[in-house]
Structure 1
Amino acid sequence: MISGKTIKLVVFELLEFVAFSVPTLVIVEKFASSYQGMLTTPERTHYWMIVSCSIAYVASTTLLIWVPVKVLLYKKRHLYKKIKGWRPVMMMSVILTTLPSFSFSVATTEIKKNGTSSNSNDSITPLPDLPVSLVLTCLIVLDIIEKLRIYPLRGTQKMSLSHHIHETTLQNIRTVSDGVTQSAGSSVAPQPTKRTKVPAANIESPSLQPEGPQEPNFQLSIWRTVSHQDRRAEIFLWSFVNWSDTVEMVRVAGHSAVYTSAWIYPVYIFSYISLLRILLTPKNPLRHFLGVVLQEVPFIFLRLSLIISLGTITPVLGLCKNVLVAFSYFYFNHLTKLRLFSTYETSF
């Protein structure tokens, strides 16, 4: 009888291999079709030559890089545990799959531009969204699978370790403070204190907490079931939310006013640079900093330039999001340490 752990491993590896190999094959096939459409000869020799080269590239990278690294990570667990702060699987995918896919996507736009300029009667149509969306979707799927490996797929998620640590710390602080107070006020020996469970969300630091609306704590079973938050479901949610800005920017590249001009290059270059932060582990301390430096700040100048040059082909809301996220990061993490902004204030 095959165990559930083995089935999970096989399914995950098959999904990762599909997400690693399919985008390159699809993008190169679109490139081959566009190149064949430019030729006047009915022969499809060039088409099949390009497609066969893509198959050979995927096969060689799989056999020479993907499979050996996967086997090494699975067999040599002590080496895998020494890797800190970055993820080898995501690095292989970003370098060997996403980079060639974006390159051939730009090459496809060049072919379409040349074909449109040679035939003035052809109307300029937007590029199909499916190939690029497939590349980013496969990259997000790889990210989700790598995050889900440490979680079981069946059963209810247990109480997180962080919640237990917060609760234990609060109990110890309360016990020590009560014992000191009783010893100073009377000679009676301090009684054992009752342990009180406090949600970890209400505990940030032992300092003074800002006042605000109290968070609800549902005790009824129906509301407790509805309000339950599972980490495994949040992985799917935030994996797509975190990359929505890059997806929107790549979608702009398919606009006719962008891919028929030189703007196609900075759009794809900065979109690819924003993907590099996926190489880091989810809890890497540098992840937020690199998110601002690699995505928010470059997208501010890119979106502002696109709006000034081509109009609102990219949403103004995206520009506001980039500005506010970048400003809030640098202000609350760095400017508040200066003497001018160091005063602690609340609204109430």
Structure 2
Amino acid sequence: MASGRLIKLLVFELLEFAAFSIPTLVIMEQFATAYQKSRTVSDQTHYWLIVSCSIAYVASVTLLIWVPVKVILYKKRHLYKKIKGWRPVLMMCVVLTTLPSFSFSIAVTEVQKNGSNITDSLPTSLPDLPVSLVLLSLILVDIIEKLRIHPLRGSEKSNEDSHIHTPYLQQIKTVTEQVRPSGDNAALPQGPKPTGTLRPPGAAAQRQVPVLVGPQEPSFDSSVLRVMSRRDVRAEVFLWSFLLWSDTVEMVRVAGHQAVYESRWLYPVYIFSYISILRIILTPRNPLLNSLGILMQDLPFIFVRLSLIIVLGTITPILGLCKNILVTLSYIYFNYLTRFRAFSTFETSPF
């Protein structure tokens, strides 16, 4: 009888391969259907030729790239441990599946526009299934890669501070040790008194300010509430994986609007959406993930969304634009501007 570890491996590999191959086949079939409808003749030779080319493409990249890389990662564990900061499986999906899928999604709209003699014959919106399938496949592979290190059976507690890096926690500990009262260091040999230039201007005032904390988190004694308050890191993997790409999903959804795909705005929407997807190649704990999220998603989306609102109206939510602006400004302020003297004064809120 197969062990649970082997079954887990087979299920994960089958799901990843399905997520790798199905989106390309669906998008190519959609392109073949649109191309066939744009022709006046009823011959379906071109339709089956495009479908067969898509099958040949998927089979080729599977046998030449997907399977060899998977075998190397499984057999040569020492090589897999040397890979730092990025994930090969996600890179293959982004380059070999998402890129051709987005390209042929644009080709579908071009074929429909060129094959329609009357503008009113164009659909009011593009079908959502193909694009949603591409993004769902990426999210599915991302979830599977995160779940590989977790068991699927048994309970596993969630770490509430899992989004905070360990070096950052150590840095906070060091700072608190530096501002301890002088009584803790009474046993240390006294040396020359430090000059005023070595002490921050507000150091004495900072020690007198009480440390204020936020509202206390509740703890439940009731069995019903205690059951409802359970948290598991494996369930949170699904939650945060979908929330992470909600902005990109909304941007790609805008591309299906008739006012967008009839104009040239379709290209920047798809291009910047694909650029934002490239972040999925990095590991979840990569220190560059936050800065690349600003440079590859929020900052470009500000200009794209603002331009769409000015030219075409509110076809994209204003809430999304506000999110991109606030995330970008807060990242720049708290990571860079607070290091300057004018913004470096430590403050505590009285409430």
Do the two structures share a fold, i.e. TM-score over 0.5? yes
The Cα offsets for residues 83-134 of structure 1, whole Å up to 9 and x where unpaired, read as 1000000000000000000000000010111123x23552542110100000
The 5-angstrom pairing of residues 1-348 of structure 1 reads: 1-116=1-116, 118-120=117-119, 122-158=121-157, 209-348=211-350
Q: Deviations over 1:32-64 (max 9, x none)?
A: 000000111111000000000000000000000
Unmatched 5+ stretches in structure 1: 185-206
In 2: Cα distance, 1:285 partner to 1:181 partner: 35
Assess, with a 3 A threshold, how the Cα gap between structure 1 residues 38 and 76 changes in structure 2: closer, same or farther. same
Change (3 A) 1:18 1:231: same
Q: Secondary structure at 1:101's aligned position in 2?
A: helix
1:209 Cα offset (Å): 4.8
- C-alpha RMSD of matched pairs (Å): 2.6
Deviation per residue, 1:300-346 (Å, 9 max, x gap)? 00000000000000000000000000111111111111100001112
Q: Secondary structure at the match of 1:285?
A: coil
Q: How big is the shift at 1:159?
A: 7.2
> Bigger shift: 150-159 or 242-251?
150-159
Render the CA deviation track for 1:190-241: whole Å, top value 9, x for unaligned. Answer: xxxxxxxxxxxxxxxxx98542211223344432221121100000001000
Question: In 1, are the aligned partners of 2:159 and 2:233 still within 8 Å (CA)?
Answer: no
Conserved in 1, the CA contact under 8 Å of 2:255 and 2:270?
yes
Task: Check whether the contact 2:86–2:281 (CA below 8 A) recurs between aligned residues.
Answer: yes
Q: Number of residues paired by the alignment?
A: 318
| Local SS of the residue matching 1:151 | coil
> Among the aligned pairs, what percent are the same residue?
67
TM-score, length-scaled by structure 2? 0.85
1:69 CA displacement: 0.2
**TM-score of the two chains, using structure 1 as the length reference:** 0.86
Contact 2:306 2:321 (C-alpha < 8 Å) held by counterparts: yes
Output the CA distance in 2 between the equivalents of 1:300 and 1:58: 35
Match of 2:201 in 1: none
2:340 corresponds to which letter in structure 1?
Answer: L
For the structure 1 residues 181 and 320, does the alpha-carbon distance in structure 2 shift closer, same or farther, using more than 3 Å as the test?
closer
